[in-house]
């Protein structure tokens, strides 16, 4: 069963308070989302496998630990997921980056994939799907469906802010996926916004309205 991890790290909570604040402008918002993405990546990768390697320090030989070579791919859900991607790549610079684009069908209100470009060796990679807002859960569920359909075996999902409704639906749809959240909020409002949330993550990242 996948676990839900809610971060209580003071640096993450501090930065998240500025991200939420409507007074925070585009430049600062972008920088803060990037920084929190990086801090979260530190925890999200906590269970990566290590292997022993023999090295020579200036003093002696020793058996040290290195990552076991399992390959990582980061997959932002377009467009807001792009804001967290560089932060993750600062800690895992060799990771591949896949992209998934989804729009909401105006009639069914269901997310529909309009773009997917992923690394070739899907079965061999661990995936980290990133999207700042886990609201209804629809996009996250569909993006993970899309990865699984193409053969992905190990997937983690990380977001800045989640609504309890979205967390429940994502857990139900993908019980094998660990979910990483910087702030777990109260609810969704009638317009599908997370309350208290931060507004529209894509618009705030890219300065659009």
- Which residues lie near ligand URA (CB under 6 A)? 80, 133, 135, 192-194, 197, 200-202
Least distance from C-beta 197 to ligand URA, angstroms? 4
From the list 47, 104, 121, 185, the catalytic residue is: 104
Q: Is 34 annotated as a binding residue?
A: no
Phi/psi for 188 (5° steps) reads -100, 145
| CA dihedral sign of residues 175, 199, 194, 139 | negative
From the list 21, 52, 176, 203, the catalytic residue is: 203
* Known catalytic membership, residue 203: yes
Q: Is 80 annotated as a binding residue?
A: no
Using DSSP, state whether 108 is helix, strand or coil: coil
80 vs 95, beta carbon nearer ligand URA: 80
Q: Can you list the positions of beta strands (E) in the chain?
A: 4-6, 50-56, 61-67, 71-78, 96-97, 99-104, 111-117, 125-130, 133-134, 154-162, 178-184, 187-188, 194-195
119 vs 202, beta carbon nearer ligand URA: 202
Say if residues 73 and 98 touch (Cβ distance below 8 Å).
yes
Q: Is 199 annotated as a binding residue?
A: yes
Q: Is 136 annotated as a binding residue?
A: yes
Catalytic positions: 104, 108, 200, 203
Q: Which residue positions form the known binding site for 5-phospho-alpha-D-ribose 1-diphosphate? A: 79, 104, 131-139, 200
């Amino acid at each position: 069963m996948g676990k839900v991890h809610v971060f209580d790290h003071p640096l993450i909570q501090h930065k998240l308070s500025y991200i939420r604040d409507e007074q925070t402008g585009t430049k600062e918002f972008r920088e803060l989302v990037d920084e929190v993405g990086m801090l979260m990546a530190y925890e999200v990768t906590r269970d990566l496998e290590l292997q022993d390697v023999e090295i020579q320090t200036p003093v002696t030989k020793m058996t040290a630990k290195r990552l076991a070579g399992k390959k990582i791919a980061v997959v932002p859900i377009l467009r807001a997921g792009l804001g967290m991607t560089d932060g993750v790549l600062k800690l895992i610079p060799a990771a591949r980056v896949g992209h998934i684009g989804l729009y909401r069908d105006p009639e069914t209100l269901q997310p529909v994939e309009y773009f997917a470009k992923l690394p070739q060796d899907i079965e061999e990679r661990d995936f980290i799907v990133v999207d700042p807002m886990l609201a209804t859960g629809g996009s996250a569920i569909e993006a993970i469906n899309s990865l699984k359909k193409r053969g992905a075996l190990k997937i983690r999902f990380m977001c800045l802010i989640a609504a309890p409704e979205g967390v429940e639906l994502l857990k139900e749809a993908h019980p094998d996926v660990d979910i990483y959240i910087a702030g777990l909020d109260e609810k969704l409002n009638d317009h599908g916004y997370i309350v208290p949330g931060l507004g529209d993550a894509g618009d705030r990242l890219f300065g659009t309205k």
